[in-house]
Amino acid sequence: MAHSTKPSARHATPERGAIWLGLAILYTVWGSTYLGIAVAVETIPPFLMAAARFALAGVLLLGWVALRRPESFRRPTRRELIDTSVVGALLLGGGMGMVAYGEQTIPSGIAALLIAMMPVWVAVLGRLAFHEQLPRLAVIGIVVGFVGVAVLVGPTALGASGALDAAGLVAILISPIAWSSGSLFATHRANLPRDPLVATGLQMVTGAGALVVMSILTAEPGRFDPAAVSTPSAVAFLYLTIVGSIVAFTTFGWMIRVAPLPLVATYAYVNPVVAVILGAIVLREPVEPRTLVAGAVIVAAVALIVTARGRMTRPRAETSVTTPPGPSARPAAPAPSQSASG
C-alpha cells in the first residue's frame, strides 16, 4: 500500500506480521490441497467431489457477500454470466476437475509438480493468443520447464520402468493448460462482475455446473455410494471446501492488495514443494531421484517466469478465482493455486 508518510515502527510490525501470516496460509493451504484431493477421491468420485466442493463454497461466498455487502451484490448481466460460465468451466471443470481425476492414480506430489507448470503455460498461451511480451528470462524459463516435464514423464512416454498411469497423467497435463486458458480469457476478454468476491462465487457455482456435466458423462452418479464415503475422505472434502477454497481465496484477494506482487507470487513455486513433502509424509508416496531432479528443474523454471513477469510493468487485476492455485484456485494477478489446486 502507498503511504504519504513513513509508518511508525509500532504500526509497521503488525502489518508485516499479517502479510507473512497470509503468505504462510497460501504456502501451506494451497500446498496441502493436493493431499486433500488425493484423500477425498479415495471414496468420492472425482468430478462429483469437485462439483460439490465448489458449489458449496460458491454458495457460501455469495451468501456472505449478500449479507455483509448487499450493495455489491447485483444481478449479473447476460454477458457477465456467459463469460463467468466460460471462465468457471475452464478453471474448475478443466483445471480442478482434471486434477481430481488424475490424482486417482498419480501421486499428489507429482501432480503438484506438473500443475506448477501453469505459469509456463500462461506465458506460452499468452504469447500465442494475445501476443504478450516474453522477456528473455521468461523464454529461458519456458524451455527449462519443459525439460523438467520431460524428465518427470519420460519413462511413461517411453514405456520404461517407473511409468505413470497414462490416463491420469494426461488429465494432470491438461489441467494447467485449461487453467491458463481460463485465466487469460478472464484477463483479456471476459466481462466479469465488478465485485471480486461475487465474480469468484459465480465462477465456483458455474464451474460446479460444468463438473456436474462431466460427472454425468463419466457415469459417476450411478457408481457413487454415499455410505461408502470414508471419514478421511469426508474430512478432506470439508477441508478443501472451507479452508482450501474460501479461506485461501479470501486471503489471496487481500494479499494482492497489500503486499508486493513478486512476494505473493512466490506461492507458485513453494506450493509444489509443500505438496511433495506432505505426500511423502502422510501418504508414504515414494520420492525418487528423478522426481527430485524434475521438481527442482520445474520450480526453477517457474521462479524464472514469475521473476520475469514481475519485472514487467502491469496494473493489478481485479481479484477473482482466475489465479491458480492452484488449485485452487486458483485471481488474475501474478500468474495462478490452486491453484490450485486451490
* Residue ranges of the chain whose pLDDT lies below 70: 1-14, 157-162, 312-342
Query: Is the link from the previous residue into 339 a cis peptide, with omega within 30 of 0?
Result: yes
Say if CB 11 and CB 81 are below 8 A apart. Answer: no
Residue in this structure with the C-alpha cell 491458463, named with its chain if needed: 180
Handedness of CA 28, 105, 97, 114 (dihedral sign): positive
Given this model, what pLDDT does residue 245 score? 86
Residue in this structure with the C-alpha cell 454415499, named with its chain if needed: 226
Given this model, what pLDDT does residue 6 score? 43
The neighbour count for residue 27, using CB atoms within 10 Å, is 17
Alpha helices of 247-288 — where are they, by DSSP H? 248-258, 261-264, 267-282
**257: which 3 cell numbers?**
492488495
Alpha helices of the chain — where are they, by DSSP H? 9-40, 46-68, 78-88, 98-102, 108-115, 118-130, 136-158, 166-188, 196-217, 220-223, 231-238, 248-258, 261-264, 267-282, 289-311
Per the prediction, the chain carries an average pLDDT of 85
Kindly report, residue by residue over 100-130, the tens digit of the pLDDT: 999 999 999 999 999 999 999 999 999 999 9
CA 55 and chain centroid, separation: 16
Q: How many CA atoms lie within 13 A of 34 on its CB side?
A: 38
Amino acid making up residue 341: S
The residues with which 327 forms a beta bridge, in sequence order, are 338, 339
Given this model, what pLDDT does residue 117 score? 92
Amino acid making up residue 56: L
For 144, residues 6+ apart whose C-beta sits below 8 A from its C-beta are 297, 300, 301, 304
Given this model, what pLDDT does residue 162 score? 67
What are the angstrom distances between the C-alpha of 286 and each of 57, 102, 112, 158? Answer: 33, 17, 14, 21
Fill in the DSSP letter of residue 143: H
For 100, residues 6+ apart whose C-beta sits below 8 A from its C-beta are 37, 40, 41, 46, 47, 49, 50
**Distance from first CA to last CA of the chain, Å, rounded?**
26
